[in-house]
Each structure stands twice: as C-alpha cells, then as structure tokens.
Amino acid sequence: MTSDEKRALILDKLADHVLAHGLSASSLRPLAKAAGTSDRMLLYYFTDKSALIAEVLQHIAARMVIAMEGATAPQPLPYDVLLARLSAALSDPGFAPYMRVFLEVASGAANGDATLSQIGEAIGRGFLDWGKAQLQSDTPDIDAARLMVTLEGTVFLRAIGMGDVCRTALGTIE
C-alpha cells in the first residue's frame, strides 16, 4: 500500500470520526485512535492540525456532494417543491451529521477561525450553486438565496430543539 493510499484511508476514517463526534471532540489523539494510528503519524501525514482539519472538512464536503447527487431530481423543480424536499433531506439521519458539522464550522468561523471561515464559505457557495441548478425559476439567483437562507435557518432551529417551528414555517408552503 502506497503512502498516498494510506493517507486516503486515514482521511476517510478521520471524516467518519468528525461526522460522528464533531470538531470539538476531534483532538489529535482521539482522531488517531479512530484512524487506527497515532497522533505522531497524523502529524507526519498532515503538516499541521489545522491543515488536517482543512483536509478532513474538504473530504466531508466532497462526500456530501456525492450524497446529494443521489438526491438530485432528474429535472429542475419549482421553489416550493425543492424546499420541501431538501428540508426533509437535511433532517434525515444520513444527512444530519453533515449539518451538525457545518453548523460547528459556521460557529468557529464566526469566532474568527480563519481555516473554518474559508472552508465554510466554500462549502456554502457550493451548496448554493447546487441548489440553483436544481431550481426551476425565473429568478434563480434570488430563489436559490432564499432557499439557502431558509434551509440553514431550519438547521439552526433544529439544533436547539425547535424542529416544530420549522414544520410550522414550512407547512404553509408545501
């Protein structure tokens, strides 16, 4: 097994751990344990902790893109339909971990973490573009923006146990 393959394998397990336990529970030793290696080795493969985290988050983002491909409708959908679909998808147990991590990234970014700030925006823009491509609309930019604001709002509220409010808010639209 080449060094690159090892790296890729480790990266995969690191992503699993971050998705399962969050960034705050992702210090080097727990990460190393989850990847079946040592903290020493993590810093051998990834120059830095922040570099490591950056790569892991990008890996996670790539995974999410793939998962979303599966949720992609064959044709663009009108705003209301797409919103209902995505809102349901994001609360799916399969997707929820991504949203938890995304929320944590946003929080870290708001507190001044440069790495998280940069990656958070990249992921966010990617998601926005993807949504725009799914939208059947005369004003795709505006509707994609509204879609995204609404969806992230539901992520936020569900995080604090206010999923019922999300349902109330979106119930009028379906």
| 105 contact, one of a second copy, DNA, none, CB 5-8 Å limit per kind | a second copy
Judged by CB under 8 A, the residue of 54, 115, 124, 126 near a second copy is 124
Least CB distance to a second copy at residue 158 (A): 8
43 binds, among a second copy, DNA, none (CB under 5 to 8 A by kind): DNA
**128 part of the interface to a second copy, by CB under 8 A:** yes
Question: Which is nearer to a second copy, 76 or 124 (by Cβ)?
Answer: 124
Contacts 24+ apart (CB under 8 A), 17-26: 18/56, 18/57, 18/60, 18/101, 19/60, 19/97, 19/98, 19/101, 20/97, 22/100, 22/101, 22/104, 23/53, 23/101, 23/104, 23/105, 23/108, 24/104, 26/53, 26/56
Residue 99, C-beta contacts closer than 8 angstroms, at least 6 positions apart: 90, 155, 158
Nearer to DNA, 18 or 147 (CB): 18
Residues at the contact surface with a second copy, assessed by CB under 8 A? 21-22, 24-25, 99-100, 103-111, 117, 120-121, 123-125, 128, 139, 141-142, 145-146, 148-157, 159-162, 165-166, 168-172
